[in-house]
Structure 1
Amino acid sequence: MRQPQQPTERFVERRNRLRQSLQERTAFIVSAAFEKIRNEDAHFLFRQNSSFFYLTGFDEPEALFVFRPWMSPEAVMFVREKNLERETWDGFRFGPDLAKKAFAMDECYLTTQIDEKLPELIADCEQIYFSLQDNFARQTQILEAVEKARLTRGRTSPVMASVMDPRSILAEMRLIKSPEEQELQRKACHVTALGHRAAMQAVQPGWNERQLQGIFQYAFAMNQCPVMGYNPIIGGGENATILHYNFNDQVLNKGDLVLCDVGAEWNFFSGDITRTFPVSGKFSAAQKDLYQAVLDVQKWVITQCKPGTRQAALQKMTIEKITDALLQLKLLRGDKEEIIEKQGYRRYYMHGVSHWLGMDVHDLGTFSVNGEERAHAPGMCLTVEPGIYIRTDDELAPKELRGLGVRIEDDILITENGCEVMTSAAPKEVAEIESLMAEDFDPKAYFPK
């Protein structure tokens, strides 16, 4: 029998917190993910819906969680049947009886009972939360259950409200990480940093980008992170100027930079580091100038990550610093304020400096609350990732900078007095990178300690 991946008490505590955010006569419904076909009869590796796992700890497809605060039963889950024949082919299934006990549910039913039981469970509810971005068949199933429940209510009963998006509540819960969640996030960041160190040591001119991707996969798997938090970006040369480059199939040439945006996932929490380093182990003068300009911006922005700083202000600060760098590098000319007003910097810097980080690499959470900019608070995790990208065909740029792309990204935890850089084990100073790359790659160095 498989055991729950994390202590069940953690999920019960989250459900207790969820209860405090809901009114009576509410049904809070979250669907598990469904398996997806990759090609013909082969499936993609299953990955659970983050919010479903956040509240249940259950890692099987097709399930449905229904939470009804202060009602009985309160926590209800629908799961696949216990089927020994299918388990012979696909692996262990909990089934309703084991799932009820292992995941501290008040009641568990079969997924084949959703059409029958769900209308009964929500019949007395006046508010329904369910994300309409879920699987279309599941959407239809939930909406039909809502309609069936409405039909069972008398004309004098309170009107059932429209279906509301649960992410507004889940985002607030997931935005502030508990001490236990912070440890999971640190572990994901630590393993991610190991992967970047291994990549710097192992890379060789003439390698394919895929081979470098394989080094990350090796370091992650050896530290029990078998999957990545997102599709990796391994962009050599001019491919580093493509923000979401995913082909990862070109040759890494001597003298080029390679941009690696790669993160490991540990127990559903994702790391997210970007490092840019020279394939040959040494930065050229032009590469160093560009790299140092981005690094100076990144390090300064990190100093501003502390309680009270607002996300919108962080972006504004970054734009000002990046514009200064672009002027110094002679990528832009003219008046700084006019460039910012007309967004001239977007020719070389066109994305946000930060996003929330957690169970999803771009984690739930808004940058504003009730129309006001959100301020950083202890327990929030975010990235800091400025960059400068210069197309090969950019005739306005100095020739020595054309085709260069640099992004530097770290993962930040806001603390009571400032911030913690959770990814500091991945070198980013020029001298540190060149020193590490001068060392021989030892695969055993990345075995877990």
Structure 2
Amino acid sequence: MSNFAARRARLAAQMLPGAVAVLPTAPEAARNGDSDYPYRHDSYFYYLSGFTEPESMLVLYAANGERPARSILFCREKNPEREIWDGYRYGPEAARSAFGVDEAWPVSELDTRLPDLLADAPALYYATASNAVLDAQVQRWIKAVRARSRSGVTAPSTFVDLLPLLDEMRLIKDESEQATMLRAGEISGNAHARAMRAARPGLHEYALEAELLYDFRRKGAQFPAYTPIVASGPNACVLHYNVNDRVMQDGDLVLIDAGCELDGYASDITRTFPVNGRFTPPQRSLYELVLAAQEAALEAIAPGRPYSAFHEAALRVLVQGMLDLGLIPAGRYADVEDAIAAKAHVPFYMHGTGHWLGMDVHDVGAYRDLTQLDKPSRALQPGMVLTVEPGIYVRPAEGVPEAYWHIGIRIEDDVVVTEDGYRLLTSSAPKTVDEIEALVGKGV
């Protein structure tokens, strides 16, 4: 658990001396009747603790001249009867040893112990105004401390939003995190290859979704990182389509956007391929355009370069291709830059070319340098993980060549920024035209 302890120490070092930070995990959520959704811990909480049980809170005390820094975990008590029904729970004693915290206490004692911990603390760090339950708890604890003011005890006078500090920490992935994300990418890429092999006209989209979910789980992933998108034919032009119930037709492309979550970390891959195993000439033209745009974006990724550079590189390639193929009327614009400035591409490409990736599929961290007055795009640094996902989506419209109607294509990979460029985390997912046509429909 040394990585988690090191993160706690890094956070405490950024806090005011003697300040306290509190961070709860996620609550359990009812699905319907007496059934809950599968439990998933809070990402921030897990980042600092490695603990995955519900009904838990982490408390950090920053060192001052009198007391050293310490970490305290509040968790459920051992309960043999409930464990018969719900499975093993650590309990405070075992949790303290297993997760390397200084102290562990029953979560039932939270309201009695927090006022003591907050007494005379100069500041309280927590996720301000993000959780009504936590806000109410904080007010209750502060009120209890203030009730002891006659005995000389003072309550925290400063309240600091904890999440921006953690966002910046989470943005840079250490070697252990990168290794987990590489494995998640391998699992997801292989699942995409399995879906390609299983594809054929006449199947429902959900049949391919089932192949993905099966492969995720059998390789050890705990969850899909998000609801899979399996979008065939015109559905591929709906960015967040996830009904996944259409019958795939001969001649369709199918766009699959799916990734697993492994040990708390997400992968995020999109592949697009012909259901019958052969691209038509219009499909191939658009596919190779998107692939070229992704290659240009990848070449723009290196430490020190602005985050925005890879989107700009992909966009220039896409817009030139749209002009060449007649999707954008060439005579209306002086050049590519003029067409981009006029946003002529937006009907066909309306999203960015990537996002941060980590414990959350759209991970935390600012995309701009907030320390500068003009807030420019922030510079990439080694350890940042991001997706690279250009696309093109052609809906029927006046002036748009009919040969391209209902074609939606996105190609997405995950990369980590390195000292000299980037490392691809999702190379196990076939991507070239030749690789795809050699694999689709060959059977699992």
Q: How far did 1:153 drift? A: 4.6
**Residue 68, structure 1, aligned to residue 61, structure 2:** yes
Residue 443 of structure 2 aligns with an amino acid whose one-letter code is F
Does residue 429 of structure 1 match 2:432? yes
Report Cα offsets for 1:82-106 as digits up to 9, x if no partner: 1111111111111111111211222
Q: Match of 2:364?
A: 364
Q: Deviations over 1:113-147 (max 9, x none)?
A: 11111121122222222114655323311232234
Give the aligned partner of residue 404 of structure 2: 401
Match of 2:422 in 1: 419
Please state whether the residue corresponding to 2:28 is helix, strand or coil. Answer: coil
1:168 equivalent in alignment to 2:171: no
1:388 corresponds to which residue? 392
Give the whole-Å Cα distance in 2 for the aligned partners of 1:338 and 1:151: 66
Corresponding residue SS for 1:219: helix
Aligned mates of 2:69, 2:338 — CA distance in 1: 62
Unpaired segments ≥5 residues, structure 1:
1-7, 443-449
Cα deviation, 1:328-364, whole Å, max 9, x if unaligned, reads 2211122133332232211111111111111111111
Give, as a single letter, the amino acid of the residue that structure 2 aligns with 1:353: T
CA contact (8 A) 1:26 1:128 kept: yes
Residue 245 in structure 1 maps to residue 248 in structure 2: no
- How far apart, in 2, do the equivalents of 1:133 and 1:223 lie? 39
Q: Name the residue aligned to 1:352.
A: 352
Give 1:118's aligned residue.
114
Match of 1:220 in 2: 216
Determine the C-alpha separation between the residues in 2 that align with 1:40 and 1:228.
Answer: 24
Q: CA deviation at 1:263?
A: 0.4
Cα deviations across residues 282-315 of structure 1 (Å, max 9, x unaligned)?
1011100111111100011001111111112333
Q: Distance in 2 between matches of 1:155 and 1:351?
A: 59
Give the AA of the match of 1:189. Answer: G
Q: What is the CA–CA distance in structure 2 between the aligned matches of 1:150 and 1:72, rounded to whole Å?
A: 24
Report SS of the residue matched to 1:373.
coil
Q: Unmatched 5+ residue regions in structure 2?
A: none
The 1:149–1:344 alpha-carbon spacing in structure 2 relative to 1, beyond 3 Å, is farther
The alignment's TM-score, normalised by the length of structure 2, stands at 0.93
Q: How does 1:253-402 map to 2 (within 5 A)?
A: 253-333=249-329, 334-335=332-333, 336-369=336-369, 370=371, 371-391=375-395, 393-402=396-405
Is the contact between residue 76 and residue 107 of structure 2 (CA under 8 Å) also seen in structure 1? yes
Instruction: Give the stretch that moved more between structures: 250-259 or 164-173.
Output: 164-173
Instruction: Report 1:36-75 matches (<5 A).
Output: 36-70=29-63, 71=67, 74-75=70-71
Contact 1:73–1:106 (8 Å) recurs in 2 = no
Which shows bigger deviation, 165-174 or 279-288? Answer: 165-174
**Could you tell me whether the CA contact under 8 Å between 1:150 and 1:160 is conserved in 2?**
no
> Alpha-carbon deviation of 1:73?
6.9
Match of 1:446 in 2: none
Query: Structure 2 residue aligned with 1:16, among 9, 30, 34?
Result: 9
8 Å contact kept, 1:259–1:277: yes
Mapped to 2, the partners of 1:132 and 1:207 lie a distance apart of 48
Does the 8 A contact of 1:185 with 1:271 survive in 2? yes
Distance 1:322 1:149, change over 3 A: farther
What is the RMSD computed on CA atoms of the aligned residues? 1.9
Shift in CA distance, 154/337, structure 1 to aligned 2, threshold 3 Å: farther
Q: Secondary structure at the match of 1:216?
A: helix
What amino acid is aligned across from residue 361 of structure 1 in structure 2? Answer: V
Distance in 2, matches of 1:384 and 1:158, equals: 50
| Amino acid of the structure 1 residue aligned with 2:11 | L
Q: 2:340 and 2:144 mapped to 1: Cα distance?
A: 55
The one-letter amino acid paired with 2:47 is Y
For the residue of structure 2 that corresponds to 1:247, the secondary structure is coil
Inter-CA distance 151–316: structure 2 relative to 1 (3 Å threshold)? farther
**Aligned match of 2:90 in 89, 94, 99?**
94
Structure 1 length-normalised TM = 0.92
Q: More deviation in 342-351 or 256-265? A: 342-351
Asked if 1:136 is matched to 2:132, the reply is: yes
| Alpha-carbon distance in 2 for matches of 1:105, 1:258 | 48
Q: Decide whether the 8 Å contact of 1:217 with 1:226 is kept in 2.
A: no
SS of the residue 1:406 aligns to = strand
Query: Which secondary structure does the structure 1 equivalent of 2:397 belong to?
Result: coil
SS at match of 1:368: coil
Which is worse superposed, 17-26 or 141-150? 141-150
The CA deviation at 1:47 is: 0.6
- Aligned-pair identity in percent equals 38
State the AA in 2 paired with 1:367: Y
Q: What's the CA shift string for 1:406-435, capped at 9, x where partnerless?
A: 000010111111111111121111111101
Cα deviation for residue 25 of structure 1 reads 2.0
CA contact (8 A) 1:311 1:373 kept: yes
Contact 2:226 2:258 in 1 (8 A): yes
Deviation track 1:369-419 (CA, whole Å, cap 9, x = no partner) reads 21342111111110000111112x323311011111100001011111111
Contact 2:29 2:37 in 1 (8 A): yes
Q: Are the structure 2 counterparts of residues 133 and 405 from structure 1 closer, same or farther at C-alpha, using a change threshold of 3 Å?
A: farther
Note closer, same or farther for the CA distance 1:238–1:260 as it changes in structure 2 (3 Å cut).
same
Query: SS of the counterpart of 2:58?
Result: strand
Determine if contact 1:167/1:364 at 8 Å carries over to the other structure: no
For 2:177, the equivalent position in structure 1 comes to 181
| Contact 1:73–1:107 (8 Å) recurs in 2 | no
Aligned residue among 105, 110, 126 for 2:101: 105
**Displacement of 1:154 after TM fit?**
6.8
1:159 Cα deviation after fit: 7.7
